[in-house]
Chains A and B, each alone.
Chain A
Amino acid sequence: MKRLLISTEFKHLCREKVTFIIVIFSAVLAILAFFNGHLFSETQSKVVKTALQSQQDSITTAATQLPERLSTTEPVNWWQDRYDLRAQAFYVMLNYATKPPLAQSPIAIGQADVLPYYFRMLVQEKQQVVQQYDYVHPLNLLLGQFDLSFVLIYLLPLLIIGICFNALSNEQHNGQLRLFLLQGGSASQLLTIQILLRGAIILIPFLLISNLLFVLVRPHIDPAVLLSFTTIALLYCCFWLALCAWVNSRGKSAATNAAILVTCWLSFVVVLPALINTFITHANPTPSRMQYLDSFRAHTDEAKKAAEKTLAQFFQDHPELANANGSRSDFATKKIATISAVEQAMQELDVQYHQIQQAQLDKVMWLKYLSVATLTHSMLVELSGNGLSRHTAFMSQVQMHHQALKSFFAKEIVKANQNGDFSPCKGCNARPTITDLSTLPQFDKHFSTPNVSFTPLFWLILLSMLLIYSTFKNVCTLTRPQATGRRGGHID
């Protein structure tokens, strides 16, 4: 009976033109989404490679041109001299902190188009460093990327609804259900087969093509990641299939089923996420960046006005640099001292930002369970390496690197100043104070990325199970002889 049902249903689906349209559509969407995500990641990879290459080139060029610089008698502006520590620290250094996209990045671009993925490091206030960003058309950010997560979260449920909304109701409407039951068939079996087959028509092309493309185009991808992606996609679609089954089992007309399912889709995928986002941003509003800027300016002015005090504080914090410095502190040391003072003064605000983001994250942790779309999105974004976890780890590493550079230059500049390298004689060039640029601290790319939590999958499983249980109960009620007559009549 089961085989007969499957083959009949399969033949029935094959007869319908819309089935082919949906299969082709699902495949085309997967291809488009994959390549769009892939192109995006490739662009970012190229930028990262170019940045690192320019960093390497600057080291090589400095090494080859050193003899020329040592022999020059022409006047050299210290702020343009690549062999001057001060110029390197504040103006000419090519030192990058980068976050290259992972092989699985095309799964979900997430915030990767918004958040910075490379920084050109200079010795300046870290508040200025971290505000860099890659310039793209703002409309592109507003509309977001057409990636696999978009297809999975927004479009596949619509396709599932489009093909499943009349699963049992068609048979009820034609009166075939009664005939089928009289022949000893099971309505729940029929519904299960209908829903699973229809779901498979959408899911199989999507998953097959996207996985195949990953293996072919991004061969470095970890199979475990692909398995996770497939599991998430399957469970998310399972929920929608279960929902379709449940709505169908209520015995309403096909049009009513479609309207209910579309309303559910709209609620879960469009309205609830927007509501959650609005709630979070208004419950824990991020402090105004304009006010932040205002404080930054005020603190910078204060630190500059109290330059001597700031410098004294700096040497108090770094006594190792103060030993032989005496009273002769140069411009560069004062500048670094001011930078440190401003960073310290801004720390309170930075902590405030961090706390508010943490409070928002805490709320999202719970509120995301209200919508299967937000739940799935959060897992996919983290899995692709474009989520907040990896970005936070990257930003911590950037700050550590910034600190390392600042300490390096502070120490070396004080030393060079003590040696009189910056003004060996009146009117002559400063001595080269950094001859090998490879000695500069380099960014450590191996920042830790926390593991993706798959706990939300259990919520998806639970919801699907509840829907399936309720569906079977509804189908039992629906197929009771009196109910079939009454409700079937109502449908017709």
Chain B
Amino acid sequence: MFKLTLEKEWLDAKRQGQLWWLCLIASLLLLLACTTGWQSYQSYQNDAKEVAQQEQKRWLNQGEKGPHSAAHYGIYVIKPALPFIAIDGGLQAFQGNIVRLEAHTRNDGLFRTIQDNLPIARFGSLTPAFVLQVLLPLLILLIGYPMFAAEKEQGTLKQTLASGVHPMQLFVAKCCVLFAIAFALLLPVMIYLFAISFEQGRVTTLVSRSAGLAGVYIGYVGLWSIVTVAISCLLQSTRRSLIVLLTLWAFSTLLVPKLAMNYSAAAHPLDSSQAFQSRLKREVYTEQRELALARFKQSLLQDYGVNSTNELPFDYAGARLQFGEQYADAIFDRLFGERLEQLQAQSNSYFLASLLSPMVAVQSLSMAFSASDFHHHQHFLAQAEQHRRMMQRVLNHNQRDNAHKRHGRYVANLELWQQIPKFEYHPPAFKALAHHYRVNWVGLILWLMTALLLGAIAVRKLTKEPLR
């Protein structure tokens, strides 16, 4: 009986004039989005590889110079991208993906792509994530809004139910048909996800991310399918069903995300970069620093039982530089940490909106699985900072241990530059950052449960339908 019901529903859906052209438009948009997404990923990755190699070459071939000059010369590191950014570029264009690692300074990312774009870019780009998160639910509701409501208006629902079909079966059949249509559009994206996972070699990392990404979107499509059919069943006319569903969609995708983020930014305000930079300068280069340096010098002289730094068995300037770095690092940790706390508070506050909008939950999880969200970026910045500190340590220690042995100015060479390993960044396994996204998971699960509850209410109402 269920199979018959399913066939009937499929036939009904096929007869809907708008089904084919809506699916056609959605497929074309998705195809276009995937193609451009893939192109952007390829070009980004090629540039990142090429420039990172050039930068490494430059570092190694910088010639003979003092280690501290090399520390100031520094190196630029670039955040590599996972192939998932072809599906969901997330915040990739909105944060600087290049960081300069140099002495005395902890820098923010450079060159945000969005800064080079025209104002029209704020309407958004056609990416697969945009199609899946914003347009696919709309497609589902435009196909699904008349599923029950139209039958009610035409009076055929009572006939169908009188023929012995169980209301639950009818409801599930309609949901299945709607889900199948949406899933057909999702399928190429999923094939792409798994194909790249196996092609790239890092199977375990990528497959788990692919599976997560696919699971989230399947849940999202399922959620909208159930909600659409349930609303169509609960309301008496196609008109009301369409209006309610559209209102839900507009709230979920347009209003809630924007308002939630604007609220989060206002509730947890950040200092301007101007204020932050001047605070950094103010707090690093203080009298306390001078005193700390003097104390450091005094303790060295005492420890080694000498009267002047020239008598120390190492180069004092190198030791002083390293002490200065460590002194500044402690302040960087505090100030950057405070800023990060505010930023995380903004993220967490925004994530809470997952409870109001399934799109917020799905968008956040999708970016997370694609490694293109805020937390993954912070992970990259933290790794870059660790690399910077290691670089400074190696260079300063080299000066400390060798500069006093030479007469005149000490210069280091390729041997030292080679001691600094190339910065190789790999995004962490999803598990490592999973704790940040608990609210999103809870939000998505709650939304799925709400949809199922709504479905149950709809079926209950349907059971009473022939009695009316």
Contact = CB atoms under 8 A, between A and B. Distances in A.
Given A140-B262, A282-B39, A378-B119, A274 B124 contact: yes
B346 A139 contact: yes
Most buried by B among A158, A288, A291, A378: A288
Interface in A345-380: 353, 357, 360-361, 364, 368, 373-374, 377-378
Contacts of B255: 155
28 contacts: A43-B269, A111-B119, A132-B273, A134-B274, A135-B108, A139-B91, A140-B262, A143-B257, A150-B258, A154-B254, A155-B254, A155-B255, A162-B247, A262-B142, A266-B135, A274-B130, A277-B124, A277-B125, A278-B36, A278-B126, A281-B125, A282-B39, A285-B43, A290-B47, A290-B48, A298-B58, A364-B118, A377-B123
A293 B51 contact: yes
Nearest to B116: A286
Interface of A: 32, 36, 39, 43, 47, 50-51, 54, 80, 96, 110-111, 114-116, 118, 120, 131-146, 150, 154-155, 158, 162, 166, 253-255, 258-259, 262-263, 266, 270-271, 273-278, 280-282, 285-286, 288-294, 297-298, 301, 353, 357, 360-361, 364, 368, 373-374, 377-378, 381, 387-388
A378 B122 CA distance: 11
Contact of A143 (B126, B258, B347): B258
A291 B51 CA distance: 7
B146 interface: yes
Given A131-B110, A274-B125, A138 B94 contact: yes
Interface stretch (B172-180, B202-210, B234-242, B400-408): B234-242
Contacts of B62: 301
Contacts of A286: 113, 116-117
B118 A357 contact: yes
Interface residues on B, range: 35 or more
**Lowest 5 A-B CB distances belong to which pairs?**
A273-B123, A138-B94, A289-B111, A255-B238, A138-B91
A270 B134 contact: yes
Contact of B262 (A36, A134, A262, A274): A36
Nearest to B364: A139
B123 A373 contact: yes
Contacts of A360: 118
Nearest to A288: B47
Interface of B: 18, 29, 32-33, 36, 39, 43-44, 47-48, 50-51, 54-55, 58, 62, 76, 78, 90-91, 94-95, 98, 108, 110-126, 130, 134-135, 138, 142, 145-146, 237-239, 242-243, 246-247, 250, 254-255, 257-259, 261-262, 264-266, 269-270, 272-278, 285, 339, 343, 346-347, 350, 374, 377
Contact of A144 (B50, B122, B272): B122
B120 A378 contact: yes
A51 B259 CA distance: 29
A140 B273 contact: no
Given A111-B117, A271-B126, A277-B124, 13 more contacts: A96-B274, A132-B273, A139-B350, A140-B262, A145-B262, A162-B247, A166-B239, A258-B239, A270-B134, A288-B47, A290-B78, A297-B55, A357-B116
B309 to A, nearest CB: 16
A436 to B, nearest CB: 22
B138 A259 contact: no
B29 A133 contact: no
A291 B120 CA distance: 25
B94 A142 contact: yes
Given A286-B116, A293-B111, A140 B134 contact: no
Contacts of B254: 154-155
B119 A377 contact: yes
A255 B242 contact: yes
Contacts of B36: 278, 282
Contacts of A138: 91, 94-95, 374, 377
B257 A280 contact: no
A353 B346 CA distance: 34
A481 to B, nearest CB: 27
Most buried by A among B58, B119, B278: B119
A166 B242 CA distance: 13
B117 A291 contact: no
Contact of B261 (A139, A270, A374): A139
Contacts of A271: 29, 126, 135
A54 B120 contact: no
Contacts of A285: 43
A263 B17 CA distance: 14
Given A255-B242, A278-B32, A289-B98, A137 B273 contact: no
Contacts of B346: 137, 139-140
Contact of B122 (A111, A131, A278, A288): A111
Given A114-B112, A155-B254, A158-B250, A141 B123 contact: no
A131 B113 CA distance: 11
B278 A258 contact: no
Contacts of A39: 266
Given A139-B347, A262-B246, A294-B51, A388 B111 contact: no
Contacts of A368: 120
A353 B111 CA distance: 14
Could you tell me the dominant secondary structure of chain B's interface residues? helix
A361 B237 contact: no
Most buried by B among A155, A293, A374, A381: A293
Contacts, number: 222
B142 A137 contact: no
Nearest to A267: B25
A162 B242 CA distance: 10
A275 B126 contact: yes
Given A150-B258, A294-B54, A134 B94 contact: no
A288 B29 CA distance: 26
A135 B111 contact: no
Contacts of B33: 278
A289 B117 CA distance: 12
Contacts of B273: 132-135
A258 B347 contact: no
B76 A388 contact: no
Given A273-B120, A290-B98, A50 B274 contact: yes
Contact of A255 (B111, B146, B247, B264): B146
A8 to B, nearest CB: 22
A135 B243 CA distance: 40
A388 B55 contact: no
A246 B274 CA distance: 53
Most buried by A among B32, B54, B115: B115
Nearest to B285: A80
B275 A50 contact: yes
Contact of B142 (A259, A282, A288, A289): A259
A297 B111 contact: no
A253 to B, nearest CB: 8
A143 B258 CA distance: 6
Contacts of B250: 155, 158
Contact of A47 (B91, B121, B145, B275): B275
B235 to A, nearest CB: 11
Contacts of B91: 138-139, 141-142
Contact of A364 (B120, B124, B285): B120
B95 A136 contact: no
Contacts of B130: 274
Nearest to A363: B118
A134 B120 contact: no
Contacts of B113: 286, 289
Nearest to B113: A289
A155 B94 CA distance: 25
A374 B123 contact: yes
A46 to B, nearest CB: 8
Contacts of A96: 274
Nearest to B241: A255
B261 to A, nearest CB: 5
B98 A258 contact: no
